[in-house]
């Protein structure tokens, strides 16, 4: 089809869709087509103002086309018909321009500017209407004028104790001379002071006791601000009094949620006492008393602290066998004591789950099954035990010279997670600032293929803690992997491991018995999605990981003269061990345009260096490129390293691995309708080796040429967001392929669908 015909057809389709939309617009009304915000002085205010507009036009997919509106317009007038119902449910009704809502939006924007220090700001509103197309475009013109700044701030109160506390902490205040006069800052200061006082025992203090007086009568852009703190009022009409500091009286646990009226009958139940704590025997305590005490930050005879109440909530919420934790404070009449009652209900303790899936690898069909048993309260200390048994079978074809034609895998995995860890027993609860857990894991995996048998036995000990809701730390104290290869077929050994003409040192190294002893650390951070009372359009997440292996063993062998094998490697019980260092860094930034369109940028860098007892990284520690979560224009493990080109062998994935990885991804996600979402994306990256290997020509990293070895791909994806997980289907085309020269290097200009397209089905988002 020529460009002229395509353009004509597009105009006709657009005209038809416009007519179908117009039939839904009432006579004399207009479709709100666009909203524009224009500032005369500050472009940042344009972005802020959009959050205060009450009426926005119909959404655009990828900020281009109003597909939901056009879908809705295809429905008929009879809403009782099933087809019309579906179209209207999938689409979006036209947004009809409203004078009253626009006026309300103008007032909201003006109020926002005034609250931000532009006391004489004004907003002009204009609506441009197209009578023929029945479309309306609204304009909001922001005139900020002069901004006001705080000249001085004074504190007035009859409660001298509070005054001295607040004045001693002004270093954390946002209100100081020279800063803009902002209602948001004043509200933040009210909350900050209230939180500080509540952590110092002022249980009854509320932010409403803090008020402001702003003096602007001296005819300048300077504001003299006065903060007033009122006295405590126990009830309406009562005499004002000084704010009281409260201490914790008793701390009691109730293994059932009880209403406020039911608290009066607690004396009818037996009470089990544990020092200053007690459990009211309303029901079975569910867990050991020591676990309750260890996760309670509210301690008798200490000052009331809202932060400790919040931490106790978080700690009890982290005990999976308990649910609906509730903390209630009851004031003892005539005293400064608060009796604390911590209530909770029991959660389901045991569960069993089954997994069954079919597989298809290059036409070879198979099946996999797994059963998982879990117990959330193994020894009544919220110990979480999970045991998983799994097996997989696949018929393997096309391997001539091998006996048998099956792939069989089976294994078992046991995980035991304990609340807390060794540090918790050494640090008193009142000094602990974080939640933590300890995980012990034991895994066994056995693989039987026509080419070889391979067994992996793993054991690990991890300690995880978090001092903030957004971040988490994991210390891998011990991680031991024993890789045992008891049998290799004569054909595989002859053709790939021992053949002089086809010998592959990388492949050979990964089919030898090996011991990996690892120590590592992982840090993750997710920025808050909230900014004050509004959804923050900017958010990001960071993950950093570092690990090393074999250093302690190598140090002992070097000091005491350990034995070496024929390859010059130190051994433990005649078993060589790996030695390397590895680090990974990932960051994902997100910008949310509106409730339907989000732009994400992701970059990931990883590097691993074998040394000492290892010349080559273990296969499990090497980097791979291609697949659903990285370079989506390539199938799994088919890209790189560098400009290395796949030889076409069935086992060439060994060579397509490296010591360094770079991923860069840009993705625009759009919500379509129902639970259906879509995305367009561009990926860039590759892997490289740090050393030159004969088996991987062109794979070594070179700082001066690596940019010419970056691969690029682009594509589109469809996602279904279900309640528990996300189903994802991504299709991508190669754009730049560093493995080729000439036209083949630039599939973007010379595409070959059979060669350059890859389709991926996955669960969850790639980043």
Evaluated on CA atoms 546, 550, 554, 557, the torsion sign reads positive
3-state secondary structure 293-313: HHCCCCCCCCECCHHHHHHHH
Q: What is the pLDDT of residue 503?
A: 56
- The phi, psi pair for 187, rounded to 5°, reads -65, -40
Question: What does the mean pLDDT of the chain come to?
Answer: 86
Residue 84's H or E segment, with its range, is helix 82-90
Residue 340's H or E segment, with its range, is strand 337-346
Contact 370, 280 (CB under 8 A): no
- The phi, psi pair for 315, rounded to 5°, reads -65, -45
> Residue 34 has which token pair?
């666009």
Neighbouring residues of 549: CB distance < 8 A, sequence distance ≥ 6: 516, 517, 518, 519, 577, 578, 579, 580, 581
d(CA 322, CA 502): 60
Residues 143, 146, 152, 153, Cα dihedral to 10°: -10
Ordered structural domains, the chain, with CATH: 3-58+94-143 (3.10.20.310), 149-229 (3.10.20.310), 247-346 (3.10.20.310), 622-767 (2.40.160.50)
> In sequence order, what are the beta bridge partners of 531?
534
Task: Give the count of beta carbons closer than 10 Å to the beta carbon of residue 319.
Answer: 22
DSSP 470-521: TEEEEEEEEEEEEEEEEEE-HHHIIIIIS-TTT--HHHHHTTS-EEEEEEEE
Question: Which of helix, strand or coil describes residue 688?
Answer: strand
| DSSP assignment letter at 762 | E
- The phi, psi pair for 13, rounded to 5°, reads -65, -45
DSSP 206-227: -GGGEEEEEE-TTSSSEEEEEE
DSSP 416-446: EEEES-HHHHHS-GGG---EEEEEEEEEEEE
Q: Which residue in 466, 419, 102 sits closest to 287, CA to CA?
A: 419
> Residue 690 has which token pair?
């740090």
d(CA 639, CA 710): 10
d(CA 75, CA 102): 28
Question: What stretches of 30-119 adopt beta strand conformation (E)?
Answer: 31-39
Please compute Rg for the chain using Cα positions: 33
Question: Burial of 420 by CB count in 10 Å (0-12 exposed, 13-18 middle, 19+ buried)?
Answer: buried
What's the number of CA atoms in the CB half-sphere (13 Å) around residue 336? Answer: 12
d(CA 466, CA 8): 61
Q: What is the pLDDT of residue 582?
A: 97
Contact 386, 373 (CB under 8 A): yes
Give the C-alpha distances (Å, rounded to integers) separating 110 from 30, 57, 143, 197, 286. Answer: 25, 21, 9, 34, 56
Contact 529, 480 (CB under 8 A): no
Length of the chain equals 767
Residues 6, 8, 13, 18, Cα dihedral to 10°: 140
Task: Give the count of beta carbons closer than 10 Å to the beta carbon of residue 672.
Answer: 17
d(CA 421, CA 493): 47
Question: Burial of 534 by CB count in 10 Å (0-12 exposed, 13-18 middle, 19+ buried)?
Answer: exposed
Give the C-alpha distances (Å, rounded to integers) separating 236 from 329, 510, 678. Answer: 22, 79, 56
Contact 448, 396 (CB under 8 A): no
d(CA 309, CA 298): 6
Neighbouring residues of 123: CB distance < 8 A, sequence distance ≥ 6: 106, 109, 110, 113, 140, 141, 142, 143
Evaluated on CA atoms 568, 571, 573, 574, the torsion sign reads negative
Q: Is the pTM of this model over 0.85?
A: no
Q: What is the pLDDT of residue 8?
A: 46
Residue 254's H or E segment, with its range, is strand 247-254
Question: Burial of 338 by CB count in 10 Å (0-12 exposed, 13-18 middle, 19+ buried)?
Answer: buried
Contact 580, 549 (CB under 8 A): yes
Question: What stretches of 575-645 adopt beta strand conformation (E)?
Answer: 575-576, 580-592, 597-610
Residues in the chain with pLDDT values less than 50: 1-17, 530-534, 651
């Amino acid at each position: 089809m020529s460009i002229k015909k395509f353009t004509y057809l597009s105009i006709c389709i657009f005209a038809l869709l416009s007519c179908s939309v117009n039939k839904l617009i009432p006579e004399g009304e207009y479709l709100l087509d666009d909203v524009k915000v224009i500032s005369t002085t500050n472009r940042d205010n344009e972005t802020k103002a959009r959050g205060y507009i009450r009426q926005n036009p119909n959404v655009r997919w990828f900020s281009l086309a109003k597909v939901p509106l056009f879908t809705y317009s295809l429905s008929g007038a009879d809403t009782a018909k099933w087809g019309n119902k579906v179209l209207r449910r999938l689409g979006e009704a036209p947004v009809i321009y409203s004078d009253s809502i626009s006026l309300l939006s103008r007032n909201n924007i003006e109020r926002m500017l005034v609250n931000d220090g532009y006391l004489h700001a004004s907003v002009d509103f204009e609506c441009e209407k197209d009578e023929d197309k029945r479309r309306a475009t609204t304009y909001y013109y922001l005139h900020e004028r002069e901004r006001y700044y705080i000249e001085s701030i004074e504190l007035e109160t009859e409660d001298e104790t509070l005054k001295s506390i607040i004045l001693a902490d002004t270093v954390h205040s946002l209100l100081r001379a020279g800063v803009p006069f902002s209602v948001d800052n004043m509200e933040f200061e009210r909350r900050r002071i209230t939180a500080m006082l509540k952590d110092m025992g002022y249980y009854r203090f509320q932010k409403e006791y803090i008020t402001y007086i702003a003096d602007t009568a001296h005819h300048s852009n300077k504001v003299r601000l006065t903060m007033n703190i009122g006295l405590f009022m126990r009830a309406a009409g009562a005499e004002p009094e000084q704010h009281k500091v409260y201490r914790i009286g008793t701390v009691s646990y109730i293994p059932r949620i009880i209403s406020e009226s039911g608290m009066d009958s607690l004396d009818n139940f037996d009470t089990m006492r544990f020092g200053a704590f007690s459990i009211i025997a309303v029901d079975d305590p569910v867990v050991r008393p020591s676990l309750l005490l260890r996760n309670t930050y509210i301690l008798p005879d200490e000052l009331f602290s809202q932060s400790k109440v919040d931490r106790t909530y978080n700690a009890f919420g982290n005990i999976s066998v308990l649910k609906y934790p509730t903390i209630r404070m009851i004031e003892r009449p005539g005293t400064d004591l608060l009796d604390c009652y911590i209530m909770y209900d029991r959660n389901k303790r045991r569960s069993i789950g089954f997994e069954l899936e079919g597989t298809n690898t290059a036409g070879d069909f198979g099946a996999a099954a797994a059963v998982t048993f879990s117990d959330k309260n193994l020894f009544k200390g919220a110990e979480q035990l999970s045991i998983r048994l799994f097996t997989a079978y696949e018929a393997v074809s096309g391997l001539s010279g091998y006996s048998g034609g099956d792939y069989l895998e089976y294994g078992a995995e046991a995980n035991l997670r304990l609340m807390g860890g060794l540090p918790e027993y050494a640090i008193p609860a009142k000094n602990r600032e974080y939640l933590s857990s300890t995980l012990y894991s034991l895994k066994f995996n056995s693989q039987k293929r026509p080419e070889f048998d391979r067994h992996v036995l793993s054991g690990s000990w991890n300690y995880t803690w978090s001092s903030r809701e957004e971040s988490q730390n994991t210390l891998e104290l011990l991680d031991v992997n024993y890789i045992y290869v008891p049998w290799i077929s004569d054909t595989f050994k002859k053709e790939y491991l021992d053949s002089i003409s086809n010998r592959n040192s990388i492949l050979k190294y990964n089919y030898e018995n090996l011991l990996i002893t690892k120590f590592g650390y992982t840090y993750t951070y997710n920025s808050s999605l909230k900014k004050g009372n509004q959804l923050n359009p900017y958010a990001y997440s960071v993950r950093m990981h570092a690990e090393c292996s074999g250093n302690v063993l190598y140090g002992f062998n070097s000091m005491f003269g350990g034995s070496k094998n024929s390859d010059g490697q130190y051994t433990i019980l005649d078993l060589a061990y790996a030695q390397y260092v590895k680090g990974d860094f990932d960051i994902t930034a997100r910008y949310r345009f509106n409730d339907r369109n989000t732009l994400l940028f992701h970059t990931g860098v990883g590097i691993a260096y074998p040394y000492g007892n290892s010349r080559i990284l273990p296969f499990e520690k090497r980097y791979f490129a291609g697949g659903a979560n990285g370079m989506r224009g390539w199938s799994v493990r088919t890209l790189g390293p560098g400009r290395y080109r796949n030889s076409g062998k069935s086992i060439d994935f060994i060579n397509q691995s490296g010591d360094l990885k770079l991923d860069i991804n840009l993705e625009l996600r759009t919500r379509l309708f129902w639970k259906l979402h879509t995305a367009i994306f561009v990926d860039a990256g590759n892997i490289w080796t740090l050393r030159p290997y004969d088996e991987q020509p062109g794979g070594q990293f070179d700082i001066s040429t690596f940019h010419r070895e970056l691969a690029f791909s682009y594509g589109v994806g469809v996602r279904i967001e279900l309640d528990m997980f996300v189903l994802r289907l991504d299709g991508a085309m190669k754009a730049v392929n560093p493995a080729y020269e000439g036209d083949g290097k630039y599939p973007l200009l010379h595409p070959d669908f059979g060669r350059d397209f890859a389709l991926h089905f996955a669960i969850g988002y790639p980043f």
